[in-house]
Amino acid sequence: MTGRPGGAGTDIGLISLDEAGARAAARVAPVPGVLELPLVEADGRVLAEAVVARVDLPPFANSAVDGYAVRFADLRPGAETRLPVLGRTAAGDPVGTLGRGAWRIFTGAPVPDGADTVVMQEDVTLSGDEVILPSQSRLGANLRRAGEDVARGQEVLPAGRRLRPRDLGLLAALGLERVRVRHRPRVALFSTGDELTEPGRPLKPAAIYDANRAMLRALLARAGADVVDLGILRDEPTDLERHLREAAGACDLIVTSGGVSVGDADHVKAALSACGSLDLWRVAIKPGKPIAIGEAAGTPFIGLPGNPVAVFVGFVFVAWPLLARLAGATAEAPVVFPAKAGFHHRKKAGRREFLRVTLERRDDGAVIARKHPGEGAASLASLAQSDGLVVLAEELEQLEEGSTVPFLPYAGLLG
């Protein structure tokens, strides 16, 4: 990477957001090292290696219902069958052996040897010690075969999988108590700007509260990082440089917001160029601004814009793929749903636009996206009060009301 102190670095022209995300991710390597954690501490962690089942799931053939286990061949085709009840097995009981007859069985209990079908208790009639079974049964009904969910030796989760509660359930069912995961990347975070004030402190004239750091801390944590919060830095190049160097020694990545555009007080670029190198990417999006990518004393750096909505978009599409790679995780593509635009909209061709929308479900089931009135890149209320983003493609210039648009719920974008 190359850079000029105080200049725009390697300005490689306008690039698409997808390309920015991919290029950013390509600059980092997964943090080294593996640790073993108990399952109860593994939610959100990244699997260091694939998990292969060492047992069958279920481990033995068992009943899926409360009912009667039978041998299918003992049932009369197309007619009811009367059979004596020969035994009874509840969940946790040892496995029985079925002779010619039926066997009382409960959900999760091992199917007796010799039985191949279970008839639900709702479908039978009891008559003394006998049971009358219905005319229509299916071979193998209501029976869970050993290994039908997972066969021993099968890979159930790949390396790089970010573990979810569902995965932990599966691993526990396979008898795993601990799991090998990757180290979390340590990410240094700071905000830059002379106008920024820590929430809770009195606000001086012309000052604003630092909103980005609260949002970024939480986003970083959701992306699986250990956050080192370095607070607010002033628009002062030497001070910025000193903090960048310090952070670089202690972290795997540095994330900042503000100070990367072309104003006189935008010193992050100069500070970065002085202690490392900088590329400034002009990303073809709205809202959005340049995103600074580079390295400070050998540690990867990503400088997000100052405006909070641009910070959110830049984080989700550029920082998140980078963090996934750093964490050794398989990148998760944002979730997209079709929605109907409840508005019309004009835009400039050549850039991708993100509109904050709220969803409304109509009686006929259609999902209508309503544009939030707060449109500016600084509007945090619009970000907090909307449900997600509608994405308008680069080539589009005019969106007609009623057209189908891709909708990205915040829930699918780390929140």
Closer to ligand AMP by CB, 55 or 228: give it.
228
Work out how close the CB of 211 gets to ligand AMP at its nearest, in angstroms, rounded to a whole number.
Answer: 4
Give the closest residue to 296 by CA, choosing from 318, 316, 269, 315.
269
Closer to ligand AMP by CB, 25 or 270: give it.
270
- Judged by CB under 5 A, which of 58, 258, 288, 308 binds Mg ion? 258
Query: How far is the C-alpha of 352 from the C-alpha of 21, rounded, in Å?
Result: 14
Give the closest residue to 55 by CA, choosing from 176, 178, 180, 179.
176
Contacts of 120 (CB under 8 A, 6+ apart): 65, 66, 67, 142
Please choose which of Mg ion, ligand AMP, none residue 179 contacts, taking the beta carbon within 5 to 8 angstroms, the exact cut-off set by kind: none
Closer to ligand AMP by CB, 101 or 305: give it.
305
Query: Following DSSP, what letter does each residue of 106-119 receive, concatenated?
Result: -TTPBPPBT--EEE
- Judged by CB under 5 A, which of 9, 259, 294, 314 binds Mg ion? 259
Work out how close the CB of 385 gets to ligand AMP at its nearest, in angstroms, rounded to a whole number.
Answer: 17
Work out how close the CB of 222 gets to ligand AMP at its nearest, in angstroms, rounded to a whole number.
Answer: 18
Contacts of 40 (CB under 8 A, 6+ apart): none
For the chain, the C-alpha Rg in angstroms (whole number) is 30
DSSP E strands, 320-403: 337-341, 345-346, 352-361, 367-371, 388-392, 398-399
Please choose which of ligand AMP, Mg ion, none residue 163 contacts, taking the beta carbon within 5 to 8 angstroms, the exact cut-off set by kind: none
Closer to Mg ion by CB, 35 or 262: give it.
262
Q: How far is CA 140 from the centre of its chain?
A: 38
Residue 73 DSSP code:
G
- If DSSP codes are grouped into helix, strand and coil, which group holds residue 132? strand
Work out how close the CB of 288 gets to ligand AMP at its nearest, in angstroms, rounded to a whole number.
Answer: 12
Residue 276 in the binding site for Mg ion (CB under 5 A)? no
Please choose which of Mg ion, ligand AMP, none residue 237 contacts, taking the beta carbon within 5 to 8 angstroms, the exact cut-off set by kind: none
Closer to ligand AMP by CB, 163 or 311: give it.
311
My answer on whether omega of the bond before 287 falls inside 30° of 0, hence cis, is yes
Please choose which of Mg ion, ligand AMP, none residue 96 contacts, taking the beta carbon within 5 to 8 angstroms, the exact cut-off set by kind: none
Please choose which of ligand AMP, Mg ion, none residue 256 contacts, taking the beta carbon within 5 to 8 angstroms, the exact cut-off set by kind: none
Query: How far is the C-alpha of 94 from the C-alpha of 371, rounded, in Å?
Result: 62
Please choose which of ligand AMP, Mg ion, none residue 117 contacts, taking the beta carbon within 5 to 8 angstroms, the exact cut-off set by kind: none
Work out how close the CB of 361 gets to ligand AMP at its nearest, in angstroms, rounded to a whole number.
Answer: 33
Closer to Mg ion by CB, 160 or 259: give it.
259
Number of shown-chain residues binding Mg ion (CB under 5 A): 4
- Judged by CB under 5 A, which of 101, 147, 193, 303 binds Mg ion? 193
Residues 69 and 88: beta-carbon distance below 8 Å: no
48 backbone φψ class: left, alpha, beta (φ>0; ψ -120 to 50): alpha
What does the binding site for ligand AMP look like in residue numbers (CB under 6 A)? Answer: 191, 193, 195-196, 208, 210-213, 257-259, 261, 263, 266, 305-308, 378
Closer to ligand AMP by CB, 162 or 213: give it.
213
Work out how close the CB of 259 gets to Mg ion at its nearest, in angstroms, rounded to a whole number.
Answer: 5
According to DSSP, the residues that pair with 409 across neighbouring strands are 388
Instruction: Give the contact letters, 306-345, x = binds to Mg ion (CB under 5 A), - = no.
Output: x---------------------------------------
Please choose which of Mg ion, ligand AMP, none residue 210 contacts, taking the beta carbon within 5 to 8 angstroms, the exact cut-off set by kind: ligand AMP
| Distance set, CA 364 to CA 201, 367, 368 (Å) | 50, 9, 11
Work out how close the CB of 8 gets to ligand AMP at its nearest, in angstroms, rounded to a whole number.
Answer: 14
Torsion of CA 389, 395, 398, 401, to 10 degrees: -50
Contacts of 303 (CB under 8 A, 6+ apart): 255, 256, 257, 259, 260, 268, 269, 272, 291, 292, 293, 294
Q: Which helix (H) or strand (E) holds 131?
A: strand 130-133
Q: How far is CA 53 from the centre of its chain?
A: 24
Instruction: Give the contact letters, 22-61, x = binds to Mg ion (CB under 5 A), - = no.
Output: ----------------------------------------
Please choose which of ligand AMP, Mg ion, none residue 307 contacts, taking the beta carbon within 5 to 8 angstroms, the exact cut-off set by kind: ligand AMP
Please choose which of ligand AMP, Mg ion, none residue 313 contacts, taking the beta carbon within 5 to 8 angstroms, the exact cut-off set by kind: none
Could you list the residues that contact Mg ion (CB under 5 A)? 193, 258-259, 306
